């Protein structure tokens, strides 16, 4: 396999047993580094792999629920095929792009992820009511 993540895939194939409760936050990286006999801390380079080995199956299922819930809420409110709301496509598109980046770039949620979350929440709860907005202007 020719990738800069091949050491991660090799470790998962050889020794990467998933604990039910995980190794603990940050400890999975130490276990990964120790298995290679290196003092430098290695990185999983993926949010999903990091949570799977840090939080175990419980943490991974919780992450999936937290991650998928906004999509379910948005799709429940707007029928994607019948929706004429361009914000639905923008929100789901940015959410999908961030998902792809979490697969191979970042180990944790970052500030950029707040943009698609804010778009999803705006779609779910709608605009600010006039009576609230009138008092703040």
Q: How far apart are CA 87 and CA 38, in angstroms?
A: 47
Give the rounded distance of the alpha carbon of 67 from its chain centre. 6
Q: How far apart are CA 1 and CA 125, in angstroms?
A: 46
Q: Phi and psi dihedrals of 36, rounded to 5?
A: -95, -5
Whole-model pTM: value is 0.73
Does residue 85 carry a pLDDT above 80? no
Q: How far is CA 111 from CA 48, 71, 98, 116, 130, in A?
A: 17, 19, 11, 10, 29
**Average pLDDT, whole number, for the chain?**
79
Task: For helices 86-104 and 114-125, give the axis angle rounded to 10 degrees.
Answer: 150
**What residue spans define the domains of the chain?**
6-127
Q: pLDDT tens for residues 2-14?
A: 666 778 888 888 8
């Amino acid at each position: 396999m020719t990738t800069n993540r091949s050491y991660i895939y090799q470790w998962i194939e050889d020794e990467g047993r998933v604990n039910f409760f995980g190794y603990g936050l940050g400890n999975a990286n130490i276990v990964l580094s120790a298995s290679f006999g290196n003092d430098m801390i290695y990185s999983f380079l993926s949010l999903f792999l990091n949570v799977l080995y840090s939080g175990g199956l419980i943490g991974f299922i919780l992450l999936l629920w937290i991650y998928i819930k906004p999509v379910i809420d948005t799709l429940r409110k707007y029928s994607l095929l019948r929706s004429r709301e361009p914000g639905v496509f923008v929100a789901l598109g940015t959410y999908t792009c961030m998902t792809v980046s979490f697969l191979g770039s970042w180990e944790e949620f970052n500030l950029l992820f707040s943009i698609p979350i804010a778009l999803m929440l705006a779609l779910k709860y709608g605009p600010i009511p006039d009576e609230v907005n009138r008092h703040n202007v």
